[in-house]
Structure 1
Amino acid sequence: MEKTSVLVLIAEDEAEIRNILQDTFEEGGFDVFLVATGEEAISALDDQGENLRAVVTDIMLGGDVTGWDVARHARQLRPEMPVVYMTGTEGVDWSALGVPNSILITKPFAPSQVLTAVSQLLNAASTPGTPPAT
């Protein structure tokens, strides 16, 4: 039986956090596509959009393109795309700037929190219209 890999885009400008998330997701059975800037994330979405199954993005990526922009672009390509935001300071803007059905995780966090959030969103997306168990 062939393994079906799930490719997750991780956009994080801090190399240490990016590397920790890469290890966590790969240990969890995911493939990762790592980028350091919002501009790189937009390009990755345009190039790999059909292959990407979820987006994990820092909100402040140190350039003109923010995590908010990355998530909106992902949702323009695929409206059901799971999005997990990471931030140390920008969480208060989530309700106004974040995309619907996303998860926000504040720094500092345990890497497993991000993995769990992506898994929850992927599971929710894979069962559209399924009535809740009674």
Structure 2
Amino acid sequence: MNVNRILVVEDNFILNFELCEFLRESGHEIRSVYCGQAAFEAINRHEHLLALLTDIDLGPGPDGVDVARYARAFSPHLPVVFISAARDPRHEFNGIDRSEFVAKPFQPQQVADALARVIRLEAA
């Protein structure tokens, strides 16, 4: 079965849970992980991903930009949305084109809207 999942990578457990619940209620299939290394392992399973939603600062280990680069190595046009509390995350300067950024704090709908835009962009 080819299920389209959104991979959510967020190290804050409460925010991860809330985002995933909101996205599930919006009709999305979600795979949730809490660190960059776990994201690499999920990507290595070669499941079809509809999009990647990742925090940039994931604590020790790979960050969200590393995760996006890794995922794009398998799927060069994978839609990516970054989230971060950093004032100037500069994700656009790290080779992840056709992605979006949502600053924390945010409303879950802002993330859902950004995901919809990058998914539509890829489909175009």
* TM value normalised by structure 1: 0.85
In structure 2, what is the equivalent of residue 6 of structure 1? 4
Distance 1:90 1:62, change over 3 A: farther
In structure 1, what is the equivalent of residue 58 of structure 2? 61
Q: Deviations over 1:20-61 (max 9, x none)?
A: 1111110111010000000000111111x3421100000011
AA partner of residue 113 (structure 1): Q
Q: How many percent of aligned residue pairs carry the same amino acid? A: 31
AA partner of residue 116 (structure 2): S
In structure 2, what is the equivalent of residue 100 of structure 1? 97
Q: Secondary structure at the match of 1:63?
A: coil
Q: Secondary structure at the match of 2:90?
A: helix
Q: Is the 8 A contact 1:24 1:111 kept in 2?
A: yes
56-65 or 95-104: which moved more? 95-104
Q: Mind listing any 5+ residue stretches in structure 1 that lack a counterpart? A: 128-134
Q: Mind listing any 5+ residue stretches in structure 2 that lack a counterpart? A: none
CA RMSD of aligned residues (A): 1.5
Instruction: Report how many residues are paired.
Output: 123
Q: Is the 8 A contact 1:9 1:33 kept in 2?
A: yes
Distance 1:5 1:50, change over 3 A: closer
In structure 2, what is the equivalent of residue 82 of structure 1? 79
Distance 1:5 1:30, change over 3 A: farther
AA partner of residue 14 (structure 1): N
Task: Write out the 4+ residue segments of structure 1 that deviate beyond 6 Å after TM superposition.
Answer: none
Q: For 1:121 and 1:95, how far apart are their aligned partners in 2?
A: 14
**Residue 37 of structure 2 corresponds to residue 39 of structure 1:** yes
AA partner of residue 113 (structure 2): T
Q: For 1:90 and 1:40, how far apart are their aligned partners in 2?
A: 26
Q: For 1:90 and 1:36, how far apart are their aligned partners in 2?
A: 22
In structure 2, what is the equivalent of residue 18 of structure 1? 16
Shift of 1:74: 1.0
